[in-house]
């Protein structure tokens, strides 16, 4: 690596670890290095790093080829087990959270217990190395996973501190990694296609060159055979004019040429050359293959708390329990659902039976005037149809129908409450009683049982005194 490359690698490395980086002139100051790396390198931060020997001062450390910290960094990166656990710092208290999200009408928060659960983000850093021809390209992909899904994430603006290993659900992490592998393939697709085009082009060139070479070989053999045959022809003509030693010499010459042709023929056997050619092409193809090596160089788990407020809400009539869940990362309080209409609401009121409801669903009882939800105001006077709570509903002792207190009267004998249809007002005493027991008195007036009895007694005493 060149000095510039080493510098870039170092910066990227510590950024990935979420350490804090500062520039002090030519010095790169690295602070808050996760203890995982500190332990690995056996060096505690801060580090004061320079990349040029000439820039070294007392406490600075040179990061260059062969330096021990650089070796620790490269070892740490190649160790696929490298993992960073970070926690985003969030604080929340019920009072402030509720203030921004809820409106309590005629009720207030009595108490709230805060609990917390963790939400996880994972960040996988994958280094893909492409090897082809004599080239070596490297790509680093950073993939975020949240709730089992790939997300676009950047958590760099949140205040993070080192997290705890025991807070991390490893099983989920493994499942997420499978997802990440798939995603990496997709992310590399374009680059792979790009390289394939280059390789294809180059392979075509190479194959063409090979074909040309073997065509030339085939051609060369043909040409030499042709030349030999021409020579044989002219020698055969010459031979007819010669005799004795001369004749034998030419004959031997012809023999040699014939042997030569045979040898070339043998060497030039088409299938042998074809085999060699095929072999050369296969080899060329092999040289044009693409090798991809994916390496998980870092897993960072980032988690943050989700607050659960177990809350008691009170008014002067009752208390209700509610659970509010708050996600500080997106500043979201889980919507409160009206107990009555099931619609989300920011405005909270209480039914006197302790139901949490929206103001629309909150109505006073027609009799006592206390506030209730619609479900709790389910009783209706059979006469005037006004809605009542279960404490206010009354029933006629005779017909058993429900009435409000205005539409029931007390029976003058039994004191039971009865409705206008079941009780009747007596014209003599002006009180109500069961209309079935009305009778005619001596004056031929229809009166209540009480009055009939009274008049009978009166008649009896009148008779006694009269006699
Ligand atoms: Zn409602
Ligand atoms: Zn009532
Ligand atoms: Zn209710
Ligand atoms: Zn009524
Ligand atoms: Zn009645
Ligand atoms: Zn009467």
| Ligand 4 center to 403 CA (angstroms) | 5
Q: Model-level pTM?
A: 0.57
Higher pLDDT, 220 or 425: 425
pLDDT digits (tens, 9 = 90+) for 221-252: 889 889 999 999 999 998 888 888 889 999 99
Establish how many alpha carbons lie within 13 A of residue 381's alpha carbon, considering only the half-sphere containing its beta carbon: 19
Using the predicted structure, report yes or no on whether residue 208 has a pLDDT greater than 80: yes
pLDDT at residue 338, rounded to an integer: 95
| Ligand 6 center to 82 CA (angstroms) | 98
pLDDT at residue 453, rounded to an integer: 81
Closest ligand to residue 362's CA = 1
In angstroms, the CA 269 to CA 439 distance is: 140
| Ligand 2 center to 383 CA (angstroms) | 17
pLDDT at residue 4, rounded to an integer: 85
In angstroms, the CA 238 to CA 38 distance is: 96
Closest ligand to residue 397's CA = 5
| Ligand 6 center to 398 CA (angstroms) | 19
pLDDT at residue 399, rounded to an integer: 95
Of 59-73, 382-396, 444-458, where does mean pLDDT reach its minimum? 444-458
> What is the average pLDDT across 458-462?
70
Using the predicted structure, report yes or no on whether residue 467 has a pLDDT greater than 60: no
In angstroms, the CA 191 to CA 124 distance is: 19
pLDDT digits (tens, 9 = 90+) for 148-160: 888 886 666 777 7
b/e burial code for range 341-372 (CB count within 10 A of at least 16 → b):
eeeebeebbbbbbbbbbbeebbbebbbeebbb
Using the predicted structure, report yes or no on whether residue 403 has a pLDDT greater than 60: yes
* Three-state secondary structure string covering 103-163: EECCCEEEEEEEEEEEEEEEEEEEEEEEEECCEEEEEEEEEEEECCEEECCCCCCCCEEEC
Closest ligand to residue 428's CA = 6
Q: Assign 1 to helix, strand or coil.
A: coil
Closest ligand to residue 393's CA = 2
> What is the average pLDDT across 133-156?
83
| Ligand 2 center to 413 CA (angstroms) | 28
Residues 273, 217: contact at Cβ < 8 Å? yes
pLDDT digits (tens, 9 = 90+) for 277-327: 999 999 999 999 999 988 888 888 888 999 999 999 999 889 999 999 999
> What is the average pLDDT across 346-366?
94
Of 17-26, 91-100, 195-204, where does mean pLDDT reach its minimum? 17-26
Using the predicted structure, report yes or no on whether residue 51 has a pLDDT greater than 80: yes
pLDDT confidence band for 43 (50 / 70 / 90): confident
Closest ligand to residue 374's CA = 3
Q: State how beta strands 336-337 and 332-333 pair.
A: unpaired
What are the phi and psi torsion angles at 341 (to 5°)?
A: -100, -5
Closest ligand to residue 370's CA = 2
Question: In the chain, what are the domain boundaries?
Answer: 1-79, 81-100+109-334, 379-466
pLDDT at residue 13, rounded to an integer: 85
Using the predicted structure, report yes or no on whether residue 376 has a pLDDT greater than 70: yes
pLDDT at residue 182, rounded to an integer: 92
Q: What is the DSSP string of 426-467?
A: -TTT--EEEGGG-EE-TTS-EE-HHHHHHHHHHHHHHHHHH-
pLDDT digits (tens, 9 = 90+) for 83-130: 788 888 898 999 999 998 999 999 999 999 999 999 888 889 898 999
| Ligand 1 center to 390 CA (angstroms) | 20
pLDDT confidence band for 82 (50 / 70 / 90): low
Smallest Cα–Cα separation from 161: which of 84, 81, 93?
84
pLDDT at residue 365, rounded to an integer: 95
Higher pLDDT, 172 or 132: 132
List, in sequence order, the alpha helices (H) in 241-290: 244-267, 270-287
> What is the average pLDDT across 336-360?
94
pLDDT at residue 346, rounded to an integer: 93
Smallest Cα–Cα separation from 154: which of 265, 300, 34?
300
pLDDT at residue 465, rounded to an integer: 66
pLDDT at residue 1, rounded to an integer: 64
């Amino acid at each position: 690596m060149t000095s510039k490359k080493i510098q870039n690698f170092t910066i990227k490395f510590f950024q990935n670890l979420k350490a804090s980086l500062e520039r002090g002139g030519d010095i790169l100051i690295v602070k808050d290095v996760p203890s995982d790396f500190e332990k690995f390198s056996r060096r505690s931060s801060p580090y004061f790093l320079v990349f040029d020997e000439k820039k070294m001062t007392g406490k600075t450390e040179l990061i260059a080829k062969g330096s021990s910290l650089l070796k620790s960094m490269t070892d740490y990166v190649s160790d696929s087990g490298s993992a960073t656990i970070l926690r985003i710092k969030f604080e929340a208290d019920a009072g402030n959270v509720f203030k921004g999200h809820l409106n309590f009408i005629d009720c207030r928060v009595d108490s709230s217990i805060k609990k917390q659960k963790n939400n996880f983000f994972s960040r996988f850093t994958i280094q893909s190395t492409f090897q082809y021809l004599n080239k070596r390209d490297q790509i680093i992909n950073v993939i975020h996973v949240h709730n089992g899904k790939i997300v676009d994430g950047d958590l760099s603006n949140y205040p993070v501190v080192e997290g705890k290993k025991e807070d991390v659900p490893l099983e989920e992490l493994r499942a997420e990694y499978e997802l990440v592998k798939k995603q990496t393939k997709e992310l590399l697709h374009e680059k792979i296609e790009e390289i394939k085009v280059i390789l294809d082009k180059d392979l075509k060139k190479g194959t063409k060159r090979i074909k040309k070479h073997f065509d030339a070989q085939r051609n060369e053999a043909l040409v030499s055979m042709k030349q030999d045959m021409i020579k044989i022809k002219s020698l055969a003509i010459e031979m007819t004019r010669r005799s004795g030693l001369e004749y034998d010499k030419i004959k031997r010459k012809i023999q040699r040429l014939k042997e030569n042709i045979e040898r070339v023929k043998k060497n030039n056997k088409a299938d042998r050359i074809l085999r060699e050619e095929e072999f050369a092409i296969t080899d060329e193809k092999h040289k044009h293959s693409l090798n991809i090596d994916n390496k998980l160089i870092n897993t960072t788990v980032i988690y943050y708390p989700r607050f659960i407020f177990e809350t008691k809400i009170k008014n002067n009539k009752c208390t209700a329990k509610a659970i509010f869940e708050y996600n500080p990362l997106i500043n979201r309080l889980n919507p409160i659902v009206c107990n009555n209409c099931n619609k989300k609401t920011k405005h909270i009121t209480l039914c006197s039976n302790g139901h949490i409801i929206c103001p629309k669903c909150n109505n006073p009882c027609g009799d006592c005037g206390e506030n209730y939800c619609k479900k709790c105001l389910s009783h209706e006077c059979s006469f005037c149809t006004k809605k009542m709570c279960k404490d206010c509903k009354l029933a006629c002792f005779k017909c058993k129908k429900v009435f409000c207190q205005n539409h029931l009267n007390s029976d003058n004998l039994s004191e039971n409450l009865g409705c206008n249809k079941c009780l009747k007002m007596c014209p003599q005493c002006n009180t109500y009683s069961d209309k079935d027991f009305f009778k005619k008195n001596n004056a031929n007036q229809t009166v209540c049982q009480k009055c009939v009895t009274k008049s009978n007694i009166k008649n009896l005493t009148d008779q006694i005194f009269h006699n």
